[in-house]
Chains A and B, each alone.
Chain A
Amino acid sequence: MTFHDAAARDFPAFSTDACIKCNVCNTVCPVSRVTDEFPGPKYVGPQAQRFRGPGEGSDAPDHSVDLCSGCGICTRACPAGVLIAETNNRARAGIVEERGSSLRNRLISDTDLLIRLGTPVAPLANIGLKNRLARWFGEKTLGVHRRGPLAPFSRRTFRAWWKREKRPTALEAGSDPSRTVVYFHGCAVNGFEPDLGRDAVEILERNGLTVIVPPQECCGLPFISNGLYPRAREKARRNLESLAQYARAGYRIVGTSTSCTHALKAEYREMLDLADDDATAVADATWDICELLVDLHDRGELDTGFAPIAESIPYHPPCQLKSHGIGLPAMDLFALVPGLRAVDSDHDCCGAAGTYGLKAERWQIAQDVGAPLFAKVRAAKAAGASRAACDSETCRWQIEQSSGVPTVHPVSILAESYRRADEAASEPRRRLV
């Protein structure tokens, strides 16, 4: 291993030496805001890190780091550049490596498996998800909270639909990297929200981009958040194997989940130590869909024929989006839709943090973290909003379930606006169904 590799590998832990103990992170942590069980990022991060051995889990002073939801707000607030959340995540992985993980955590992290099992029996599985007795049983046996935000399985996966429609899964001869994009749908679109995938494809195609969907798996983020790095690496390696060729050839990889795209951009390298050329090429080629649409707009290439949507919609920029460091591209896009007023939730975190809010012992924390947000969304509905918007799936499910207000991805609103424009022009395009 070269020095550079060693430095890269240990970077999150090294960065804790820059901590000046100013406590800024402790003022922004949403988890320590609501529970006394979590000492706060400073203590479980830079402070505890001094006691951790090379394995990072061993010799840890205690295991309260497992209460960290991984939202990353501390890292962004830190004036000294300490990678606090990343350090915590690695520390959790160290503990898991040493002590193993629960069946529950291994199961809820394995979204591809859940989709494989759930989709063929979607109607039945969805009855189960709604059934109180079944959910009570799930809580008692597995530790998945009976009211944890779970989305119903789609009857057909996005990939199955793509295949049925005989849409491209690889480049066609003469493809142009500037006019073709690779869609990374993630497990949420594949198994739970295929309509969002169709909205995204509709918008990309409308703007002159050919969309291909090569083989891919869950990005692995649920495994990363649960400290199951070896499983996450398996997912990551297979995704890199499939995607790197496109990235190297100059094609952009675009995703509708700010969590998956952040995993491709950052976590593969920062947490899983996959710092090779493939990982770098894929990270550099990956775009959040709103980020990409704003880029098209900056170049004057975005179709701005948006029909009015006269509504004021609460918009919650999720934590993962903020970790991208790309501003708030959805807000820029909403501003292009006449009549539409998007109101930034101005709230730190919805609480869900991927699988965190599902866990029986974390559910209440997640609810308390998101409570002010849910109240704002409910108030917006009372004032006439028909829905809320958010870029990340588990956050959407959490907001929707806890506020009772339907919550959609920003591009679904854009797709609706385009469709209305077509209807007004009375030449409806074919809607992807």
Chain B
Amino acid sequence: MPRADVVVIGAGLSGLACAAELAGSGASVFLAAKGMASTHWTHGGLDVAAPDGASTSRDGIARLAGSAGHPYARMSDHVADAVAAHRARLDGTAVAMVGDLDMPLAPIPTALGALRPAAILPMGQGAAVGPWEGQGLLLLGIGHFRDSWVDYAARNLTAGAWPGGPAEIRAVTADLPGLDARNNLNARTLAVLFDDPAWRARALAAMAAVVPPGAWRIGVPAVLGLEAHAEIHAHAQEVLGGAVFEMPSLPPSVPGVRLFDELRRRITAAGGRIQVGFDVVEVERDGRRVRAIHTEAASRTLRLAADTFVLATGGIAGEGIRAHRGRRLEERVFGLPVTAPNDSEWFSDDPMQPHPIESLGIDVDDHLRPIDPTGQPVLENVRVIGSSLAGMRYLEQRCGDGVAITSAHVVARSLAARSAAA
């Protein structure tokens, strides 16, 4: 294996973004991950910061940066650059983003009929953001697709408060050609069907037939194609006669799959390598430096040597950190110290409320190197990015994507600058 400049561990949003930026700047990059993760589980948008009370993402960043220990406390100056770099990377593709840091955070409907604040969204979800100005919201479901419940969503949205929301909310369901005869439908199989131009034309005609008269914005399940999404989205707006937005539903997230595929293509097109499927099982160290990591393999391990190692293995959800019996926390690759709230404070009594344990993670210095409780770097050539970082509660603060791409950008830029200087 030729030596890489950088080995990135983890194929979630942070690892992919970091590897794409590094490969694009000419570094040799090897991305190794155990499996896929957040892209396939989440909405494919870019939640930068939307804590309670924030008016815009920029306001949200400032609020979060003010709380000690939050990743934005170190990186808030870099968020705007990181968002710009990420958007530039995706411009001209089907996962291009709309919206910006100064746009008011608007409530947008979820697949179950709740509202969540959003500002920066993939082009195909952009129309979910108001202002509604007297328009109605039509939730257009797909018959036989078990992951879409538009009637339920419409009921919930109607029952809840939605200041400045649509004039009317209605749900309709279209039966698309051939679906009644299918045994197996999930978001991905539907997206593959939409990629077929002949089927798509008939499907959109069937969807148009159930749109009642009126001025609607139309929310559809997020299944409008994988390969041909941009074209399909445009085609859908034309045929359905209104602004159309995708609503991500249960995993698998088709918008996330598109994002993963686009970033993967970016990395390999720039000469980077990706290997998904194998855990890191061994680390070679030289004092405070890591010489190489080894990934699991069918027989002997694969040794990956590099100058720098970027840990992008996620928190509990990504399996980068594990909680063992006795509340022992383990960072699984390098055995880094994990910072977490006191034992007694892991959970709140109400399961639907935020839990303090969500903030667990790795403490870092300004270079995003892991540090010990005294503030000293534990490993000099390791950087930590994404939801492995301590101090955020991404579900409540809606900052997971922003922290992921900002930490990825900070690390990629500093490493690129270093290799340019060398």
Contact = CB atoms under 8 A, between A and B. Distances in A.
B329 interface: no
Interface string B271-313: 0010111110000000000000001111111100000000000
B79 interface: no
Contacts of B30: 327
Interface in A1-30: 22-24, 26-28
Nearest to B279: A81
Given A22-B40, A24-B36, A36-B189, A325 B277 contact: yes
Q: Which of A32, A76, A332 has the most CB of B within 10 A?
A: A76
B1 A332 contact: yes
Interface of B: 1-2, 30, 34-37, 40-41, 182-184, 186, 188-189, 192, 250-252, 257, 265, 268, 273, 275-279, 295-302, 318-319
B252 A23 contact: yes
B277 A24 contact: no
B251 A22 contact: yes
Contacts, number: 108
B35 A80 contact: yes
5 contacts: A22-B252, A40-B184, A283-B299, A294-B1, A325-B301
Interface string A233-256: 000000000000000000000000
Contacts of B184: 32, 36, 38-40, 43
A328 B277 CA distance: 13
A77 B41 CA distance: 13
B268 A76 contact: no
A52 interface: no
A325 B295 contact: yes
B40 A346 contact: no
Given A23-B252, A346-B268, A262 B298 contact: yes
Nearest to B2: A332
Contact of B273 (A22, A76, A327): A327
Contacts of A326: 297-298, 302
Contacts of B251: 22-24
Contacts of B41: 22, 24
B297 A325 contact: yes
A284 interface: yes
Say whether chain A's binding surface is mostly helix, strand, loop, or mixed.
helix
B183 A24 contact: no
Contacts of A335: 2
Contacts of A344: 268
A283 B298 CA distance: 8
Interface of A: 22-24, 26-28, 32-33, 36-40, 43, 75-81, 262, 265-266, 283-284, 286, 294, 298, 322-329, 331-332, 335, 344, 346
A88 to B, nearest CB: 15
Say whether chain B's binding surface is mostly helix, strand, loop, or mixed.
loop
Contacts of B273: 327-328, 331
Contacts of A328: 273
A328 B31 CA distance: 13
8 pairs of A and B residues whose beta carbons are closest in the complex = A76-B277, A325-B297, A79-B35, A265-B298, A23-B252, A265-B299, A266-B298, A27-B252
A40 B35 contact: no
Contact of B186 (A40, A80, A266, A323): A40
Given A39-B184, A325-B298, A79 B1 contact: no
A295 B296 CA distance: 17
Nearest to A40: B184
A197 B201 CA distance: 51
Given A23-B251, A79-B37, A81-B35, A323 B183 contact: no
A33 B252 CA distance: 14
Contacts of A40: 184, 186
B186 A37 contact: no
Given A22-B41, A22-B251, A39-B183, A266 B299 contact: yes
Q: Which of B250, B278, B299, B319 has the most CB of A within 10 A?
A: B299
Given A79-B36, A80-B35, A328-B273, A286 B183 contact: no
A77 B298 CA distance: 16
Contacts of B192: 33
Given A23-B40, A322-B277, A325-B278, A81 B34 contact: yes
